């Protein structure tokens, strides 16, 4: 019985490795650069699309390698201009990403895992099983496809990237960092790392690792409750990563990197929206060199019992933070009508219609 050798994903190869491949074929070195540009600068989903290569060369590449890029399954457009993409992976899984356009910026919100294992009680993704991590090139593809759509519809490139989609980025540590390395590379999208924010539910060990790795992107902590009892109730990860351990980890991260830190805090009616809760949040804020507290509107999901507070309560909470010299901002949710807002990504079958761009 002849044993077949699995073909390698060509995106796992560095530029020197692709050069070596072409040299062994007796081809000129510049062919490698052409291929590398197709893979990263103007990402394509097939070897056939590499139009400046001969048909024979494209066939040879297809024979020797795989190119398992993401494809767009469906697109939804919100009334407020937000666009949700449902991507299909090479092995048939679905994952979602979002383009959030405003007057001053165009933000791509991307996923890091297919599903999630953390089971946060307010998040639609938390009610899904984690199927697998996304590979670094799949994360890159989300950004590239959203960017292509942004250029086509708005005439501008995306200005910011947030890892706030499906999954916990720090539980897919290597792929997330490698995708950011590609996104910021001059051979990729050449985006400034200062325009990228990675959001975590709070994995203290990995936050410290980010510090050791001297990353250059921003970090956001999804806090959502300012004492351990309440936080554990809505975020089981708090059992092994309590608030004090996260404070210590964030301080270590800042000491190592001096990068911007944001606290994210979703307001839930009669749960974490009192002035006592605000005081506890202020206490945490003063223990970490955080730049900002992002107060977030709760976006209801079918599986959870939480409700959005009254506008007066939100205003009172916000004013209390500001009176105590907390740099706070209320983040109004975008894309609620298409389940594209914070905490709503769940690959819902209903309401999704096929789309093109």
Where residue 231 falls (left for φ over 0; alpha for ψ -120 to 50; beta otherwise) is alpha
User: Residue 196 pairs with which residues in a beta bridge?
Assistant: 161
CB 7 within 8 A of CB 64: yes
266 in Cβ contact with 330 (< 8 Å): no
3-state secondary structure of 28: coil
Using alpha carbons, list the distances in angstroms from residue 67 to 1, 10, 48, 102, 325: 27, 6, 11, 34, 51
Q: Identify the active-site residue in 19, 315, 342, 349.
A: 342
Distance separating the N- and C-terminal Cα atoms of the chain: 46
Tokens at residue 190, please? 């050449």
Asked if 120 contacts 354 with a C-beta cutoff of 8 angstroms, the reply is: no
- Quick check: is 342 catalytic? yes
Handedness of CA 61, 62, 64, 65 (dihedral sign): positive
- The bridge status of strand 106-109 relative to strand 71-77 is unpaired
Please, which residues bridge with residue 133 across strands?
A: 113
**Locus of tokens 């699995």:** 6
Question: From the candidates 23, 48, 96, 150, which is the catalytic residue?
Answer: 96
How many whole angstroms separate alpha carbon 83 and alpha carbon 81?
A: 6
Structure tokens at 242: 């309590």
Whether 96 is catalytic is yes
Long-range contacts of 11-16 (CB under 8 A, 24+ apart): 11/39, 11/67, 11/137, 12/137, 15/187
| Neighbour tally for 315: CB within 10 Å | 12
What are the catalytic residues?
96, 342
């Amino acid at each position: 019985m002849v044993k077949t050798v699995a073909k390698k994903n060509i995106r796992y190869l560095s530029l020197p490795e692709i050069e070596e491949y072409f040299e062994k074929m007796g081809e000129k070195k510049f062919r490698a650069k052409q291929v590398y540009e197709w893979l990263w600068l103007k990402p394509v989903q097939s070897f056939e699309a590499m139009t400046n290569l001969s048909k024979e060369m494209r066939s040879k590449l297809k024979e020797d390698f795989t190119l398992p890029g993401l494809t767009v399954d469906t697109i939804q457009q919100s009334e407020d201009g937000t666009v949700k993409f449902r991507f299909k992976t090479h092995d048939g899984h679905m994952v979602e990403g979002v383009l959030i356009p405003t007057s001053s910026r165009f933000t791509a919100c991307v996923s890091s895992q297919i599903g999630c294992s953390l089971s946060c009680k307010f998040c639609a993704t938390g009610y899904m099983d984690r199927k697998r991590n996304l590979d670094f090139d799949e994360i890159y593809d989300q950004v590239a496809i959203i960017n292509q759509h942004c250029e086509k519809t708005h005439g501008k490139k995306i200005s910011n990237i947030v890892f706030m989609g499906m999954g916990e980025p720090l539980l897919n540590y290597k792929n997330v960092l490698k995708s950011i390395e590609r996104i910021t590379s001059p051979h990729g999208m050449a985006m400034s790392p200062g325009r990228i924010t990675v959001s975590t539910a709070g994995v203290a060990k990995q936050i410290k690792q980010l510090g050791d790795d001297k990353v250059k992107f921003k970090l956001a902590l999804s806090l959502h409750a300012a004492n351990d009892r309440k936080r554990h109730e809505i975020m089981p990860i708090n059992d092994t990563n309590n608030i004090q351990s996260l404070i210590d980890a964030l301080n270590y991260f800042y000491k190592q990197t001096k990068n911007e830190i944001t606290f994210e805090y979703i307001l839930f009616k009669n749960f974490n929206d009192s002035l006592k809760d605000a005081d506890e949040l202020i206490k945490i804020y003063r223990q970490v060199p955080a730049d900002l507290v992002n107060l977030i509107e709760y976006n209801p999901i079918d599986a959870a019992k939480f409700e959005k507070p009254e506008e007066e309560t939100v205003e009172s909470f916000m004013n209390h933070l500001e009176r105590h010299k907390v740099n706070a901002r209320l983040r109004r949710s975008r894309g609620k009508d298409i389940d594209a807002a914070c905490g709503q990504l769940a690959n819902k079958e209903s309401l999704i219609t096929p789309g093109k761009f």
